[in-house]
Chain A
Amino acid sequence: MIHFSQVSKRYTNSREALTTVSFDLEKGEMAFLTGHSGAGKSTLLKLIALIERPTTGEIVFDGINISRLKNSKIPLLRRKIGLIFQDPNLLNDKTVLENVALPLVIAGYRYQEIGKRVRAALDKVGLLSREKSRPNTLSAGEKQRVGIARALVSKPPLILADEPTGNLDPDLAADIMILFEQFNQAGVTILIASHDLRLINQLHHRRLTLKDGQLISDEEGYIV
């Protein structure tokens, strides 16, 4: 699904954030991306969603070489990716329901279909009762879950999550991980950047570790 070959990223006026990173993530795989703060985890995810472009190297996503993808083609690429950030970027002048509906509105879904899907997604993250609330009336954890619902609602083949459990208490974090695992079992490829080693250690998925922009280890997942 994702193929990195010798990918480097240097931000302007900055040292290299990623140095010759190579790995493959198969369709249907679930993996964690770990490393110290500043190791390059967010950068790696941003390269996949083309929020940033690689300086050198090649990234293939779903059979398409995206390193040189034209800007006009980026929206279609992003519709295949459910993006989850530590800061969920919700729009406070819209209700929770409208926030979650946004990806479907953009893709041009039918009105009735949008309502159905949004409620299903909100139900999965346990926030169906808050559909009419404004995001600024929610707790940090609830906001994070709305962000997750928005990423899941269009059922994208790939989910990229950057510190998705950063704002959640351990129980809620575990719930969200279970949710990801359910999606993974349904065939969705998932890559989660996190430095929550306690949580990662509880789960036995593949683990990619970055250190100062270099991929220093790639441990296979296993079934307990």
Chain B
Amino acid sequence: MTQVNYSIQVPRSIQKITEHLRAILNSLGQLSRSPWASLLTFAVIGIALALPLSLFVVLKNIQVVSSSFQASGQINLYLQNNISDEQLHNTLVVLNMDEGVAKSQYISPQQGLQDFEQNSGLNGSALNLQSNPLPGVIVVTPESSLNTLQIEQLLSRLSKLPSITTAQLDLKWLQRLNAILAIGHRTALLLMIIFAIAVLLIIANTIHLTTQNHHDEILVIKLIGGTNNFIRRPFLYSGIIYGLVGAIFAWLLVDIMVGFLQNPITHLASLYGATYVMQGLGLSTTLYLIGGGILLGLIASWLAVSRYIYEIEPK
């Protein structure tokens, strides 16, 4: 009579599952009771997550585009004056053995002068040159797989070859762009942290308000022997749902943004004779976004409910 009869209670594992289902239903009930407020919260969380993400996506696209430009970076090797054909031949052989070199082309001083005359519309007589002032040049095209650092290394290797006076890399603009992109990435990271904290606060505050609305229920459940976990669980699920749906909202927003920019970008690329398909978030970033949203929701609701439960413990 006075003893709890465990045979009429459900096995532990099934009981756990039903408790979780009950908590999920409970929190869905909480959310659907004020659908507009919930929708608004989802939207706010979604926008807050989408802001840093869209910056991230833009940066990612700039990087992909610029890396396709890397292949066009050329190294000009200026030769010493008066080198013999044999010396030139040796240099070319050694140079072509370097695995960073895709192809190389020798431009003799005469050739160089002709090119110059053609491009400038002036001829040697007009310039009144007694002798050809141009050195011989080897134009090296690096392997397209090389990144900027590897190209820098290739440059320093080539500059040490015999018969070479200077090696010049036509990539300064790319380095500058990469430096700017690095700042952009830092900024995106910083914004992500700031907006993650904002989302944390939004969810914590929303859950805190919900706990206040359920003040009586929480007190009653505590009085009749509900554990803190039992009380916490529906709120944790609410937090998870806020984070999850907010993340999905953010994903949709970024997706819409990418779709919106696709046409003008394709047009711009076509002006350069290229085809370019804008990159979206990608699978792994999407998974990080969803996971991050869930984690933020969980942490925020845990903090909000735990603080609340602590307040009503007997002192």
Contact = CB atoms under 8 A, between A and B. Distances in A.
Contact of A50 (B9, B221, B230, B314): B314
A63 interface: no
Given A105-B22, A108-B19, A187-B1, A89 B220 contact: yes
B219 interface: yes
A188 B8 CA distance: 20
B20 to A, nearest CB: 12
Contact of A71 (B9, B230, B313): B313
Contact of B10 (A79, A81, A103, A110): A110
B118 interface: no
A154 B221 CA distance: 14
A30 B3 CA distance: 19
Contacts of A150: 224
A219 interface: no
A223 to B, nearest CB: 22
Indicate the size class of the contact surface on chain B: 20 to 34
Given A106-B225, A108-B15, A157-B2, A51 B314 contact: yes
Shortest beta-carbon contacts, A-B, top 3 = A79-B225, A157-B2, A78-B225
A141 B230 CA distance: 30
B220 A91 contact: yes
B315 A83 contact: no
A23 interface: no
A76 B2 CA distance: 14
Nearest to B313: A71
Interface string A65-99: 00000011011111101010000011101000000
Contacts of B4: 79, 107, 154
B315 A155 contact: no
Interface string B216-256: 11011111111110100000000000000000000000000
Contact of A156 (B2, B8, B217, B227): B2
A173 B168 CA distance: 102
A123 B219 CA distance: 26
A220 interface: no
A60 interface: no
A186 interface: yes
Given A78-B223, A110-B8, A150-B224, A53 B2 contact: no
Contact of A74 (B1, B219, B314): B314
Contacts of B217: 91, 93
A52 B223 CA distance: 12
A76 B8 contact: no
Given A108-B15, A108-B19, 6 more contacts: A49-B223, A83-B224, A106-B224, A108-B9, A156-B2, A157-B2
Interface of B: 1-4, 8-10, 15, 18-19, 22, 216-217, 219-228, 230, 313-315
A72 B227 CA distance: 8
Given A91-B216, A91-B217, A107-B4, A78 B224 contact: yes
22 contacts: A51-B223, A51-B314, A71-B313, A71-B314, A72-B227, A75-B222, A79-B224, A81-B225, A83-B224, A90-B220, A91-B216, A102-B224, A105-B22, A106-B230, A108-B9, A108-B18, A109-B10, A150-B224, A155-B1, A157-B2, A188-B1, A188-B2
Contacts of A74: 314
Contact of A103 (B18, B216, B225): B225
Nearest to B3: A157
Contact of A89 (B15, B223, B225, B226): B223
A56 B22 CA distance: 41
A107 B225 contact: yes
Contacts of B227: 72, 75, 106
Contact of A106 (B1, B216, B219, B221): B221
Contacts of B225: 75-79, 81, 103, 106-107
A119 to B, nearest CB: 15
